[in-house]
Structure formats: C-alpha cells, structure tokens
Amino acid sequence: MPVIATNTAANTALRYLNLNSTQESSSVAKLSSGSRITKASDDAAGLAVGVRLQSDVTVLQQASTNASHGMSVLQTADGGASRISDILQRMKTLAAQSLSGAVTDDERAYINSEFTQLISEIDSIATGTRFNGEALLDGTTDFATGVDFLLGTDAATDTLTVTIDDLDSTALTLNASTVDTQANASTAAASIDTAIDTVLSARASIGAQMSRFDYRGQMIETSIENLSSAQSAIMDADVAEEQSNLTTAEVLTDASISALSHANDMATRLSKLLQ
C-alpha cells in the first residue's frame, strides 16, 4: 500500500544497509589484523581456547630460552672440569716422576713446587669457572645443591634441576706436599687417581644433564610448533574467505544504498498524485 507518512521501504533498506555495512567493516578488520576473532562476539569459545594456546606458546618460548641457558651453564662447567682433568693428568706425571729412584730429594723439591702450583691452579679454575657471576665448581653457590630451570608450562612438573659437583682441591683431597718425598709421592699417586675418578664422575653427570636439556629443548620446539599451528587454526583469518566475504558485503552495501535512495524518492513520487 503506497503511503507517504511512513516510508517502510526506506526503513527496510536502511536496516539492510546497516547490516551489510557492519559485515563489511568486520571483514576489513579481520583482513587488516590478520585475525579471525577481532572481538569476543566473533567466537567466544574460540577466543578462550586461542588465548590459552597463545599463552602456552609464550611460556614455551621462554622455556626454550631457559633450556639454552641451562645448556650454557653445563657447557661452561664442563669446560672448567676438563681443564682440571688435564691438570690432574700432569700431577699424576709429576707423582710418577717423584717416585723414580733416579731423582733426589732436592729434585723432588722442584717437582713438588710445580705440584703445589698446580693445586692452586685447580682452585683458581674452580672459583673462576663462572656463569652470570656464579661460581660453578667450588661448591659455594646453589649449583652445589641444585638449581631449577623451568622447561615447560607447569612449574610443578616441568622443571629440570642442575647439580654440579664441587671440584676444588679440598673436595678432591689433594695435599700440597703429596710429592716432596718418595713415600709422599706414592700416597699422592693414589689420591690423584681418586681425584681423576671424581672429576670423571662429575663430567659424566654434567654430560647426562646436557643430554636431558638437549632432548627437552627439542621437545619444547616441537610443542611450540604444534601449539602455534593449533592457535593459528583458531585465531588467524582465512584471507581468501574474508576477501570473498568483503566483496559480497561491498556489493550488498552498494545495493542497499541504491535501494535506500530509491525508497526515499518514493514519497516524492507519491506526492505528485496529489497535484
């Protein structure tokens, strides 16, 4: 029924114009942000899951850095332990030399001088092998009892404890006067063998912990990849689909504008009937 008091056609066209314009704006927002969910109403459940996945990925990225730091700590400690092992080999040679009947006590005094200096060097290495200012091999820091590294998303279960043995001369039971006589040299040789075994055991422990960090680091990287993929499937916009939606919305918006224009002209055309 043609009327001029209420332009129903214009109201209908305006309603569809607003609807199509909103859809067009939504598609533009998704394309420009690259996200399928630009507001909670787009997908409330998907937003909750996606944000949780994104949070896990962020934590795992830090865990990957933690694993790298842990590996660096152990590599630093192993480097120092390796040098101590080299020194012990030299000390064993000196003890064997002092045991020889071909040398006199005067010469053993010279041998003992080097032997004593090497013990001091072991202590220097033990205190000087540091990571971020913390000594690793002298038993004075938390690494002697264990330091935790978070390597996952759960602080209660995803931790790896790094423990590094004390390798200074006291822990290795080295005596500075172990080679000044033939008798002392004999005792020193046995002590050095024990010290070498202690260092080897410490290095084996360090190596085992490095292996764990290596495997855990690989697992973290795999988890990051998989969770990022899952988060992308939920949160990221399908560009092709959204471009199609945008094109459709643009066409419908243009049609709504045209329809609204025609609807607004209807009242003018109807008024001509009164002339």
Query: Which pLDDT value is given to residue 2?
Result: 60
Do 144 and 116 lie in a common domain?
A: yes
Q: Are 208 and 121 in a shared domain?
A: yes
Residue 131 in domain: yes
> What per-residue confidence (pLDDT) applies to 149?
94
Instruction: Report pLDDT for 235.
Output: 85
The helix (run of H) or strand (run of E) holding residue 148 is strand 147-150
Q: For every one of its 275 residues, what pLDDT tens digit does the chain have, with 9 covering 90 and above?
A: 665 656 677 777 888 888 888 888 888 888 887 778 777 777 888 888 888 998 999 999 999 999 999 999 999 999 999 999 999 999 999 999 998 888 888 899 999 999 999 999 999 999 999 999 999 999 999 999 999 999 988 888 899 999 999 999 999 999 877 788 899 999 999 999 999 999 999 999 999 999 999 999 999 999 999 999 998 888 878 788 778 888 888 888 888 888 878 777 776 666 666 66
Q: What is the pLDDT of residue 148?
A: 94
Quote the CA–CA distance of 149 and 142 in Å, as a whole number: 13
Specify if 118 maps to a domain. Answer: yes
| Structure tokens, 185 | 């040299």
Report how far residue 254's alpha carbon sits from residue 247's, in angstroms, rounded to the nearest whole number: 11
Report the distance separating Cα 18 and Cα 28, nearest Å: 15
The per-residue b/e assignment along 4-41, b for 16 or more CB within 10 angstroms, e otherwise, is eeebebbeebbebbeebbebbebbeebeeeebbbbeee
How many distinct structural domains can be found in the chain? 2
pLDDT of residue 117: 95
Residues 214, 127 within the same domain: yes
Q: Is residue 101 part of a domain?
A: yes
Give the C-alpha separation, 152 to 19, whole Å: 46
User: Both 100 and 178 in a single domain?
Assistant: yes
Q: Are residues 104 and 28 in the same domain?
A: no
Q: What is the CATH number of the domain that holds 55?
A: 1.20.1330.10
Residues 77 and 185 in one domain: yes
Quick one: pLDDT at residue 275?
62
Residue 178 lies in a domain: yes
Q: What is the pTM of this model?
A: 0.77
**What is the helix, strand, coil percentage profile of the chain, to 5?**
75, 5, 20
25 and 88 assigned to the same domain: no
Does the residue 3 lie in any domain?
Answer: no
Q: Is 133 left (phi over 0), alpha (psi -120 to 50) or beta?
A: left
CA atoms within 13 A on the CB side of 173: 12
Same domain, 172 and 267: no
- Give dist(CA 9, CA 143) in Å, integer: 80
